Amino acid sequence: MKGKTKEYDIIINGGGMVGATLACLLAKSGRKVAVIEAYEAAKFSADSEYDLRVSAISRASQNALIKAGAWNDIIAMRASPYEAMDVWDEAGDGNVRFEAAELGEPDLGHIVENNVTQRAVTDALNKLDNADLICPAKMKSFVVDDESVTVTLENGKTISAQLLVGADGANSQVRELAGIDVKRDDYGQSGLVAVVKTEKSHEFTAWQRFQSTGPLAFLPLADGSSSIVWTLPSDRADYYLSLNKTDFKVALAEALDYKLGKIIKVGKRGAFPLRGSQATPYVKERIALVGDAAHTIHPLAGQGVNLGLKDAVELAGLIVNAKGDLGGMKLLRRYERARRGDNVITMRAMEGFRLLFGHSATSVKTARNFGMKMFNQIPVVKNEVIRKAMGL
């Protein structure tokens, strides 16, 4: 102890899905961790409405959450495995269908409400002796010196560690206070989200229809309803939010081309602005960024939290195996080298899809339709793509 300053190995600002998972991975391997989180995780009850924010948790993320000690609780609370993914284009009759059975897998992943994942990782963290969740709390400032980083909280208390991790989301405070630059691409689009009941069964399939305005995804939930993410130009999203429920249900069923029949019921609706971003660099002396603090991507392939959890696994692996300084540039540069490429490639791929499917020239539409049909008929290539998306 330095005076009244409590010492840790690592301080994580932000105990969201990525920050809390990272903390569990580190603490389970014997590192002493503090997590500063502004808000208490929501309580879960089985009869509560579905959270508007859900994520398609990949196999790689599932494995990370198993290691963190949170997966069993997620399954016990509420999660829906999906066994297939069907993607098609409003222009033409081509489609691409991915089937878990073709890969010899029980499912392609799980649709999990963000507040369920959050609850489970927070509970797992609270069980670990060498982790302190400081919540509700906020950081005020930090000072980096040769050997440590000292964080002052808004309540005046100080804590120190060898490394400060920013896992504090897209508007990261750590990133800003560290003076790390972030390049943002405002897509001018919003993701309209809602939970709906459809006339036909979702068949535990994730359905995604590309429209020139953006993709519309129906993600299967355990009780037979679906969570939708409808990417739209922001003014269109506002328009659909303003419709009464009857008109919205008709517009939504039409947008999915009645693939799941009529929309029987719609709950609360919300919209989130969509932005791509990359922090440059991800690391500085005694500072590292993970998850949305380091990068955000278009949600069209549902990879945002999956990339963040890969950051957490990579950084935890390097720290757990480190012999020397945990906040030195040697270790931190290795983390950045390991993760930036994957994050940037995934971001560019999502942007490429967005632009390709947003193109309305007839020649592009014809080529797109032909391409989808061809792609669907080459299982080796198709299965390789889905394996990559699953993080296998």
Ligand X SMILES: Cc1cc2nc3c(=O)[nH]c(=O)nc-3n(C[C@H](O)[C@H](O)[C@H](O)COP(=O)(O)OP(=O)(O)OC[C@H]3O[C@@H](n4cnc5c(N)ncnc54)[C@H](O)[C@@H]3O)c2cc1C
Q: Which residues bind ligand X (CB under 6 A)?
A: 13-19, 36-39, 55-56, 138-139, 167-169, 173, 191, 193, 229, 272, 291-292, 299, 302-306, 308
In the complex, what is the shortest distance from the CB of residue 87 to ligand X, in angstroms, rounded to a whole number?
A: 14
Closer residue to ligand X (CB): 71 or 91 = 71
Closer residue to ligand X (CB): 36 or 196 = 36
Give me the residue label for tokens 């391997």: 29
Give me the residue label for tokens 């390789």: 384
CA distance 257 to 233: 19
CA distances from 118 to 2, 15, 69, 171 (A): 33, 9, 12, 19
In the complex, what is the shortest distance from the CB of residue 92 to ligand X, in angstroms, rounded to a whole number?
A: 25
Closer residue to ligand X (CB): 37 or 336 = 37
Closer residue to ligand X (CB): 91 or 163 = 163
In the complex, what is the shortest distance from the CB of residue 97 to ligand X, in angstroms, rounded to a whole number?
A: 19
Q: Dihedral sign, CA of 118, 124, 127, 130?
A: negative
Closer residue to ligand X (CB): 39 or 258 = 39
Q: Assign 3-class secondary structure to 307-375.
A: HHHHHHHHHHHHHHHCCCCCCCHHHHHHHHHHHHHHHHHHHHHHHHHHHHHHCCCHHHHHHHHHHHHHH
In the complex, what is the shortest distance from the CB of residue 276 to ligand X, in angstroms, rounded to a whole number?
A: 11
Closer residue to ligand X (CB): 177 or 367 = 177
In the complex, what is the shortest distance from the CB of residue 299 to ligand X, in angstroms, rounded to a whole number?
A: 4
In the complex, what is the shortest distance from the CB of residue 102 to ligand X, in angstroms, rounded to a whole number?
A: 22
Q: Give kind and range of the element (H or E) at residue 134.
A: strand 131-134
Helix axes 114-126, 59-68, angle to 10 degrees: 30
Tokens of 152: 């002052």
